[in-house]
Chains A and B, each alone.
Chain A
Amino acid sequence: MGQIKLNQVTKSFGDVQVIPPLDLTIEDGEFTVFVGPSGCGKSTLLRLIAGLEDITSGHIEIDGADATNVPPAKRGLAMVFQSYALYPHMSVRKNIAFPMKMAGVPEDEQKRRIEAAAKALNLTDYLDRKPGQLSGGQRQRVAIGRSIVREPSAFLFDEPLSNLDAALRVGMRLEISELHKRLATTMIYVTHDQVEAMTMADKIVVLRAGIIEQVGSPLELYHNPRNEFVAGFIGSPKMNLIKGAEAQKHDAATIGIRPEHTDVSKTEGTWKGTVGVAEHLGSDTFIHVHNTGLETGPGDMFTVRITGDIEVKHGDDIYLTPQLDKLHKFDPQGLRID
């Protein structure tokens, strides 16, 4: 159980409306990621669902029941915070036990659940330590453990990996994904990192300035971005967005072509440019091309991504050919043209 439904939800801080009327349904068992640039309202939206902020108007339903005025503790949701929010004066065991203690779960049941959670999260050896004695990754696991034991109907994650270093982040990403597969509980996950969104989500909600730009599976968003914003936000390196004469050839205000959907040649192609910086990653090469004559925005740089390695250096001439079947077209309002 864990269907969450937002119905014409709005939120204002004083006179500033940060979330205009918004509808969204999150199905039971789904892993939903809210993604968007900072300040887009994704964390606010999560806090509205958690009940940590009042909604200004509209309704929130959890499992079909109106939860709009239900206090956070009674919503049956668990939250993992960006700073983990562990209780520094309690041992790991007591941290994990705290929600059960508040709910009046019997002692032996508490013990059973703590041990199960500790085993699942590799925390068994650390149960009697204080949070201050743990590494970042371990603290993260304690925070997750604390949310698991409540057996909530949905988990809320507020940028949980942003305080970890890059290597740990990849590991924790996998662990959370696996946890979701195992528990099959609804999870809502907030991040500004589109890679996290793409790798973890069943459903991505792209937000900008409190407005939902698009909802869909990661591949839907990748292949059929509804507008320029989503097209530019999803995918790494970013899609090249070209305006002007070149776009008009395709009857569009803007055309978009992903770096990986561009063929490169040293001798011939549609567009000619010079190599600025080439980033050799071994498995791929990113080439930033200048002087293509294309209007791609400030600096008019064009990025291509090719598999494997290619011998190019700064200043070399280079020819680019877009794969026309992978071309995205947008109208003057930035909306997709099919």
Chain B
Amino acid sequence: MARAVTQQRKIINTTAAWVIGLLIFFPILWTILTSFKTEATAIADPPVFLAFDWTLENYTAVMERSNYAKFLWNSIIIAGGSTILGIIIAVPAAWSMAFVPSRRTKDILLWMLSTKMLPAVGVLYPIYLICIKLGILDSRVALVIILMLMNLPIIVWMLYTYFKEIPGEILEAARMDGASLKEEILYVLTPMAIPGIASTLLLNFILAWNEAFWTLNLTAANAAPLTAFIASYSSPEGLFFAKLSAASTMAIAPILILGWFSQKQLVSGLTFGAVK
């Protein structure tokens, strides 16, 4: 609105928005605060908000109790590996669909999207069985592959949308300049699409990091990532609020930060470009 708004209305808007925003954010804030409390203050009634003795003991306790580093490492490998593998497979596919479209391109894109709609639980046992047969149950490899396949449609779609915005003439110019297909993708397309590729990477890393069906059902001691680590606090350790909070904070902090950077891509990525 290209119009001056009265100061009073702006104050009302601001207050309302901040109150609601903080209310929505409160569970996260409360978790982070509680992670610095002792177990006793964590359950104090009335609850203590800020005036408590800040301590790091929960973080040390969580680190000692379980092999946090291993879960974290599994999460990084699984989320990172599936995302990077997905991008490597998706870039050539998206290049084809964006720059050499055929009559079937649209159908292929929609079909890819449709594989994303298969309910995981419908194919849980077959996947479980295949993993056993291949001897990769409870391995990071299995999860890297499965999460990659799960997110591949989103990756292809996002890259396709970004590539579409690059004028085809530039790629033709590269071809006239003597670039081979590989050089064209490597030296011209990829550098131009870096922002798009980066957002795709980010959003899919987050989706893979938070994935909690396959990671819970296909892992045990060996390949369990942070989702499973937290699920192990279900009971009875969940009653130790401060430690639960510390573990939770450690599991979500990296992704919260990445998430704030990628909020814009979230829309185009998860709606497959249907909302702009």
Chain B interface category by residue count: 10 to 19
Encoded as 1 (CB less than 8 Å from any B CB) or 0, chain A from 98 to 129 comes to 11001100000000000000000000000000
Which residues of chain A are near B172, meaning CB under 8 Å? 52, 72, 79, 81, 85
A78 touches B188 (CB 8 A): no
A85 touches B167 (CB 8 A): yes
Complexed CA–CA distance, A63 and B119 (Å): 62
Asked if B112 is an interface residue, CB under 8 A from chain A, the answer is no
Knowing A82-B169, A85-B167, A87-B170, the reply to whether A50 touches B191 (Cβ < 8 A) is no
Interface residue? A91 (CB, 8 A): no
Q: Mark A71-104, 1 if CB is under 8 A from B, else 0.
A: 1111001110111011111000000001100110
User: In the complex, what's the smallest C-beta–C-beta distance from B106 to chain A, in angstroms?
Assistant: 16
Contact between chains at A98 and B176 (CB < 8 Å): no
- Residues in B163-205 with C-beta less than 8 Å from chain A: 167, 169-170, 172-180, 183, 187-188, 191-192, 194
**10 closest Cβ contacts across the A-B interface?**
A99-B177, A85-B173, A102-B178, A73-B178, A85-B169, A89-B191, A81-B169, A85-B170, A79-B176, A72-B175
With A and B bound together, what is the CA distance between A81 and B177 in angstroms?
12
Do residues A73 and B169 form an inter-chain contact, with CB atoms below 8 A?
A: no
Which residues of A approach B to under 8 Å, CB–CB?
A: 50, 52, 71-74, 77-79, 81-83, 85-89, 98-99, 102-103, 146, 150
B191→A73 contact, CB < 8 A? no
Residues of A within 8 A of B173 (CB): 79, 81, 85-87, 146
A-contact 0/1 string along B142-173, CB 8 Å cutoff: 00000000000000000000000001011011
Given contacts A83-B169, A86-B170, 12 further A-B contacts (CB under 8 A): A72-B175, A82-B169, A83-B170, A85-B167, A85-B170, A85-B173, A86-B173, A89-B191, A98-B187, A99-B178, A102-B177, A102-B179
**B178 in contact with A50 (CB, 8 Å):** no
The CA of A150 and the CA of B178, in the complex, are separated in Å by 10
List of B residues within 8 angstroms of A87 by Cβ = 170, 173-174, 188, 191-192
28 A-B pairs within 8 Å (CB atoms) are namely A50-B176, A52-B172, A52-B176, A72-B172, A72-B175, A72-B176, A73-B175, A74-B178, A77-B176, A81-B169, A81-B173, A83-B169, A83-B170, A85-B167, A85-B169, A86-B170, A87-B173, A87-B191, A87-B192, A89-B192, A98-B177, A98-B179, A98-B187, A99-B176, A102-B178, A102-B179, A102-B183, A150-B178
